[in-house]
Amino acid sequence: MEQQKKRGVLLVLSGPSGTGKGTVCAVVRDHLGDSVCYSISATTRQPRPGEVHGREYFFFSKEEFAALREQDGFLEWAQVYDNFYGTPRKFVEEVLDSGKDCILEIDPQGALQVRNATDEAVLVFIAPPSLEELRSRLTGRGTESEEEVEKRLGCAAAELAYRDKYDYIIVNDDVEKAAMKMEAILLAEKCRSVRSLSDK
């Protein structure tokens, strides 16, 4: 009997800025290679030093962002801190249709929009071991000004309050262990009976 290609898993990842989402994702991608794709968001924020258009983000002007939003080109979008961020819809659909898994790294407002838009999303929250550790990671990363760090820490408590809306919570106290948990979630989701028995 010919095996039908299964649709990939849509994994939505959120957590306060500095909690280690990017670091953990990089390890997962390293382990899993091409079977996992990472959705590149569009944003109206300025690139940080070293960031490249089309690699970390698509850096859009406000007008370009609004134009894609008007065409219903975003699976979700939100204002985070002082800028707009959104997930281009087409890429995610193509990846899932091809049978590969797709990771979105987005804020809780966006994650809840995805939850409402589709019943296939798996929501994972990456939490810091403590707020003190979060502060130390944010300052240690050295990519934001002191004022920006305070703004992000100010939002962290509110973001943590959303964690009960997620299917899974991973406390990132150790990068390798956190990555292993994320890989275990992907594997378990692939084994769901609804996925194994459906012809999609």
Binding site for ligand 5GP (CB under 6 A): 17, 41, 45, 76, 78, 80, 85-87, 105-107, 109-110
Q: What is d(CA 195, CA 54) in angstroms, rounded to the nearest whole number? A: 32
Q: Is 191 exposed, middle or buried (0-12, 13-18, 19+ CB in 10 A)?
A: exposed
Using DSSP's 3-state secondary structure scheme, residue 46 falls into coil
- The residue to which tokens 């929250």 are assigned: 125
Collapsed DSSP state (helix, strand, coil) of residue 40 = coil
Least Å from the CB of residue 75 to ligand 5GP: 9
Given the complex with ligand 5GP, which of 129 and 162 has the nearer CB atom? Answer: 162
The enclosing H or E element of 196 equals: helix 193-197
- Return the number of the residue (41 or 172) whose C-beta is nearest ligand ADP: 172
Q: Is 174 in a helix, a strand, or coil?
A: coil
174 interacts with ligand ADP by CB under 6 A: yes
Q: What's the gap between Cα 183 and its chain centre?
A: 14
Restricting to residues 133-162, name those near ligand ADP by CB under 6 A: 137, 140-141
Q: Determine contact, residues 39/187, Cβ cutoff 8 Å.
A: no
Check residue 41 for interaction with ligand ADP (CB under 6 A): no
Q: For residues 113 and 190, what is the distance between their CA atoms, to the nearest angstrom?
A: 23
Which of 11, 12, 18, 87 binds ligand ADP (CB under 6 A)? It is 18
181 binds ligand ADP (CB under 6 A): no
190 neighbors 7 (Cβ within 8 angstroms): no
**8 binding partner (options ligand 5GP, ligand ADP, none; Cβ < 5 to 8 Å by kind):** none
Chain position whose Cβ is nearest to ligand 5GP: 110
Closest separation in Å from C-beta 93 to ligand 5GP = 15
Q: Which does 20 bind (CB under 5 to 8 A by kind): ligand ADP, ligand 5GP, none?
A: ligand ADP
What are the residues binding ligand ADP (CB under 6 A)? 15, 17-23, 137, 140-141, 172-175
